Amino acid sequence: MRICSLVENTSNCGMRTVHGLSLYIETRKHHVLFDVGQDETIFENARKMNIKLEDIDIVIISHGHYDHGGALGKFLEINQTARIYIQRKAFEPHFSKRPEGLKYIGLEPGLIGHPQIFLLDGDYKIDQELSLFTVSNVKNNLSEANIVLYDENGLDQFEHEQNLEVDCDKKVLILGCGHCGITNILEKAGNYIPDVCIGGFHLSIPHLKKTVPKRQLEAVACKLSEYHDTQFYTCHCTGAGAFAYLAGRCVNVHYFACGDILIL
């Protein structure tokens, strides 16, 4: 298995960076994109990394925010065969609360009827390698950075967020932002103990430059420390301060920047 970071906020090797996420996952059976970022960044970086987006056969959009699915329309112009898996509720309106008011941060509504898009309503097993799951129990250590994120009914409960389990030689858990809380996501995964977990933990509010309280960071660190055989590669919305805290407390926490590659 090969996992490449195509879109992320930072890079150590001169790749184009932007606020967002896209991971390329190559398994025995599939060429997968987990999220596509918000703009042209994915296409420029894919060329630099010699990844042919035309060969992608499965795309997972983790949730209904533009920084994870904004480039989907452009992707569909160059790839007419990939199956796109999105939770149905991801196409509902989503907003971020700013000083000037609510800002729309959702997906392009016009894509909802596209023939390559498969709308899901909860957990879904794609095949023996790939499975998707949502998290409904978010009472335990839900990220406090969610306080600025809304849907049409008020504070977003993130029923539109899904996570990917990959079972190919190694077990890998992939998440987009972890809005439902990394501890809740790990608990929902249950007996699926990943060798590697990659994704954002949403422990910061970028436009406010705030990190969640130390008590929440400590709760997350304690949970990650329980997974002695799992290596955690975090990125994107975790935030520099939160990453520094977790990495200082947990020897199994690393950063996965744009251009980084994992061979498993």
Q: Which of 222, 175, 225, 227 is nearest to 201 (CA)?
A: 175
Low-confidence ranges of the chain (pLDDT < 70): none
Q: Which of 238, 159, 231, 155 is nearest to 202 (CA)?
A: 238
Share in percent of the chain as helix, strand, coil (round to 5): 25, 30, 45
Cα 105 to Cα 4, 30, 129, 236, 243: the distances in Å are: 25, 30, 31, 16, 25
Please work out, in degrees rounded to the nearest 5, the angle formed at the alpha carbon of residue 176 by the alpha carbons of 171 and 179.
115
**What does pTM read for this prediction?**
0.97
The radius of gyration of the chain from alpha carbons, rounded to an integer in Å, stands at: 17
**Fold assignment, 2-258:** Metallo-beta-lactamase; Chain A (3.60.15)
pLDDT at 206: 78
pLDDT at 42: 98
pLDDT at 139: 72
Q: 3-19 pLDDT, tens per residue? A: 999 999 999 999 999 99
Q: 196-235 pLDDT, tens per residue? A: 999 999 999 877 788 999 999 999 999 999 999 999 999 9
Residues for the chain: how many in total? Answer: 264
pLDDT at 141: 77
Q: Which of 219, 155, 214 is nearest to 184 (CA)?
A: 219
Query: What is the rounded end-to-end Cα distance, in angstroms, of the chain?
Result: 5
Beta bridge partners of 11: 258
Q: Are 220 and 203 in contact (CB under 8 A)?
A: yes
pLDDT at 127: 97
101 Cβ neighbours under 8 A, 6+ residues apart: none
Q: Are 232 and 253 in contact (CB under 8 A)?
A: yes
Q: 31-42 pLDDT, tens per residue? A: 999 999 999 999
How many whole angstroms from its chain centre is CA 135?
Answer: 14
